[in-house]
Chains A and B, each alone.
Chain A
Amino acid sequence: MSGIELKNVTKRYKENKFEITALEDVSVRVKAGEFVAIVGPSGSGKSTFLSIAGALLKPTEGKILINKQDITDFDEKQLSSVRLNQIGFILQTANLIPYLTVLDQLLIVKKMQGSVSKEDKAFARQLLKDLGMENKENKYPNECSGGERQRVAIARSFMNDPDIILADEPTSSLDTERGHEVVQQMAEQVKTRNKAAIMVTHDERMLDYCDRIYRIVDGKLSEDVRTQKETN
């Protein structure tokens, strides 16, 4: 199975003398072509969940499998390579590099993998075109609107042809209309390119585009009743 699986993941933080459990015995499996949403209020453990799924943070207990490969005990260098080659991140505020043009934002991913080929450039252009950004290739982030920036971030996350797409509140800085557009396009890309995608959000309006919805409260994950039947 290609995709991502978290098995009985628990994460505890030590703060002063108190121990805080950010995630408690979380298990979730997302297959290729599935678009899953994790919904919860702030402080519920959403970010911790995403950090662990995104190979940025190690769990206290439990296992993470990406394409059946157990990455739980990987060192920093190996995790970095997993992020580079197997995961596509869409960050909260797009987080683009200010001095790179829209096209270069995508190509830098290839650059970090080694070198940029002609095919890579063509692929980057195709991604931008799919997201309706074909005329913005040479714009800098500060010349783009919030929605455009977020679409560049989506394109960037697909650039390394990852198996997993992780999105952290992709709509938080957008109005409703733009939010719908962005998530819709994200869903489209996930389906057509057959990726396993997880979107962390607190924005209930965006859930219609997702195959399954999980709710996270105080570090505990449970599947939403609306989608529970379908998967079983």
Chain B
Amino acid sequence: MKLAIKELLYSKGRFIMIGLIIVLISWLVFILSGLGTGLSKLSTGVLSETEYAGMVLEEGAEFSLSKSSVNRSLAEEISEQDGVTDTAPINLFRNSMRREGTADSDAKITDIVLIGVEPDSFMHPEIVEGDDWESSEDNQMIADASLKNEGYALGDTIVLDDIDKEFTITGFTEDQTLYHQSSLFLPMDDFQDLRPSQGDAEDEAETVSGIIVQGNDVDLDTFLEGETDVEFGTKEETINAIPGYVAENATIMMMLWFLMIISAFILGVFFYVLTNQKTNQFGVLKAIGGSNGFIIRSVISQVFILSLVSVLVGIGLTYLTVIFLPEAMPFHLEVSMVVIYSLVLLAISVLSSLFSVVKITRIDPLTALGRGE
């Protein structure tokens, strides 16, 4: 260990070069990871931030909330099924909003997702600022905090497109985004009155997009047999059905892992060249009695120290970058991800030095005599 550190300090220039590569790679890995998490939150937040087992949706809706409509009275029956602990109907449609009284001006219109949930269900959003809906008052909304970046504040009065009503933002929640848009939450009863009427009003009041089911080992087989036109999708299936989510996520993951693989090769080659340059040195150590184990331990601990320091610098730079990122940028760095990718990067560096280890065991101590006879 000491030997490793002494060499690191002595040949600073050379090791700073390699360290810099690891710093840049880890920096990029963390940024990509943060961007990936941020984007997937933006795309799936309302669902992915909620604990649930699955969802009962309309058959043929391909597990997509936006294409589905079911009768909310089904919730009662679902609640009685094996493994189900709770249910919550959810209803949503996309719309756009603007501040009250700006209809004729050039003021910005913001796309949003309107979501109706039962006030006492587990889908009720957590308030981080402001107040909950007052049951005595109508037309109150809880907005996702990302709308603050669009200039909205508590108490603002807003109007929705094509809906002849005014709403007040009473509270903010966070990480509640869907389809890359901010959510506006309404109590289910208010929500059901919003939709432009298309006929049977009574039936319409009972129609929701889906029913979210909580529980362990949920078994809805008997229920589904008795019902036509509905099906059950797991949490994963319903999240994957969100338009664009899978493609977006897969692209970023592919970039991340390619980066890791490339870095493994770059570092492997670097360490190999370094080992090659030190063949004579290792030969001398062997000639004066150094065992393979001693030399290999020294080399690996050197790679480990170098990578550890570099990855830590990479983490530092990443958090520094976050400070300068614009608020609206979908960037979310999860500590668990940073830890996982750091460990992967460390493992990659150490593994990539294993080529060199093979090389070291093959060095003949005779090279120390410095002549081939």
Contact = CB atoms under 8 A, between A and B. Distances in A.
Interface of A: 22, 43, 45, 47-48, 50-51, 54, 56-57, 77, 80-85, 87-89, 91-93, 95, 97-100, 104, 108-109, 111-113, 140, 156-157, 160, 168
Contact of B368 (A95, A104, A160): A95
B285 interface: yes
A57 B368 CA distance: 12
Contacts of A45: 373
6 contacts: A51-B366, A84-B289, A89-B288, A91-B369, A95-B284, A109-B288
Contacts of B291: 77, 80-81, 84, 112
Nearest to A96: B284
B324 interface: no
Contacts of A85: 289
Interface centre among B2, B7, B281, B369 (most CB of A within 10 A): B369
Interface of B: 2-3, 6-7, 9-11, 280-281, 284-292, 294, 365-366, 368-371, 373
Given A47-B373, A99-B6, A91 B11 contact: no
Contact of B289 (A43, A50, A83, A168): A83
B373 A43 contact: yes
B368 A91 contact: yes
A168 B369 contact: yes
Nearest to B290: A112
A80 to B, nearest CB: 5
B172 to A, nearest CB: 58
Contacts of B11: 99
A85 B286 CA distance: 13
Nearest to B8: A99
A12 B283 CA distance: 23
A57 B366 CA distance: 8
Q: Which one of A47, A112, A168 has the highest number of Cβ atoms from chain B below 10 Å of its Cβ?
A: A112
Given A54-B287, A97-B284, 17 more contacts: A22-B373, A48-B373, A56-B369, A80-B286, A80-B290, A87-B289, A88-B288, A91-B369, A92-B370, A95-B284, A95-B368, A95-B370, A99-B10, A100-B6, A112-B291, A113-B289, A157-B288
Best-surrounded residue of B2, B3, B281 (most CB of chain A within 10 A) = B3
B289 A95 contact: no
Output the residue of A50, A77, A93, A95 with the most chain B CB within 10 A. Answer: A95
B7 A160 contact: no
A86 to B, nearest CB: 9
B6 A91 contact: no
Nearest to B9: A99
A85 B137 CA distance: 90
Contacts of A168: 369
Contacts of A43: 373
Contacts of A98: 10, 281
B280 A95 contact: yes
B294 A112 contact: yes
Contacts of A112: 285, 288-291, 294
B366 A97 contact: no
B289 A47 contact: no
A210 B2 CA distance: 39
Contacts of B281: 97-98
A165 B66 CA distance: 85
A223 B190 CA distance: 113
Given A51-B369, A93-B370, A97-B281, A56 B287 contact: yes
A112 B365 CA distance: 15
Contacts of B370: 91-93, 95
Given A43-B373, A80-B291, A83-B289, A111 B3 contact: yes
